[in-house]
Amino acid sequence: MNDLSSPPKPEGDRPQMQRKPDWIRVKAPVSQGYQETRKLMRDLNLHTVCEEAACPNIGECWTKKHATVMILGDTCTRACRFCNIKTGMPMPVDPLEPEHTAAAAAAMGLEHIVITSVDRDDLPDRGAGQFVKVITALRRETPDTTIEILTPDFKGRMKQSIAEICEAGPDVFNHNLETVPRLYPTIRPGARYYASLRLLEEVKAHNPLIFTKSGIMLGLGEARLEVHQVMDDMRSADIDFITMGQYLQPTPKHAKVEEFVTPKQFAAYGAIARAKGFLQVASSPLTRSSYHAGDDFAQMRAAREAKLAKQGA
């Protein structure tokens, strides 16, 4: 029986979600294009980071028939404090996933596709072989589609994995640093900052023509000068493209948002990044790794061609 005289449980004892500022709010996805993209992914038994990571841009992207396919299942072997993807023991790798990914690209008529994955520390090759198979299937079925991959760090097998994937020939190789080095122990405990930088250096060593890309989240408690240092570290690794977006807390159990960075601050960071020599910069509260990826790729390729023409002249 309830004791009506007992005081209510203080609100402070319950996990709370922070109220988002007006510039970070988006409308719920309801369009026909969204529903069609969702159905296609279900029919082909494909996962997307758009859904699994609760991306705020899913309504806009899926309406335009843009989706970031997440291979190697929907369960990650790590537990980063910023990420909404579930953690646990993954299912066996789906052998039909490469063909289904190519079928999805063909059905949506994609000019540019982004492929990412969960971490698979349980696999001997850390999942590198599945990236190769997906790239190969896409090249065979949709040869005009440019391919961007967003990979984990392949911890313990980095060099061999990079060599295999670079041989398959993606157009863009993305691996996110996610945050500043000081915050790694609490935000990204399963990874190492300088190992991620070395991974992107290794890509350029294998094939300088592959564009490299990396991104960080802002609002986790990083200092302005720490962000500037990450930019310098990326340029030292010859990274072509930097993305910067607002961290959003997926659930009350995840790391809290320490600051909602304003659009003006994001614009200032973007201007500094351009001055440091990146070929392409995306910096806004709603920026995510694959947001507007096709348009950004076209602009980055044009920027490289213009740079090479200028050097030749």
Calculate ∠ Cα 107-111-117, nearest 5°. 75
61 is in an annotated binding site: yes
* The token pair that represents 149 in the structure block: 């991959």
166 is in an annotated binding site: no
83 is in an annotated binding site: yes
Residue 80 and residue 117 in contact, taking contact as beta carbons nearer than 8 Å? no
50 is in an annotated binding site: yes
214 is in an annotated binding site: no
The SS3 assignment for 221 reads coil
284 is in an annotated binding site: no
The SS3 assignment for 243 reads strand
Q: Rounded to whole angstroms, what are the CA distances from 248 to 130, 188, 251, 254, 300?
A: 30, 15, 9, 9, 27
CA-to-CA distance for 99 and 70, rounded, in angstroms? 14
Beta bridge partners of 115: 69, 149
In sequence order, the 6+-apart residues with CB closer than 8 A to the CB of 152 are: 117, 118, 119, 120, 126, 127, 175
Q: Which residues are annotated as a binding site for [4Fe-4S] cluster?
A: 50, 55, 61, 76, 80, 83, 290
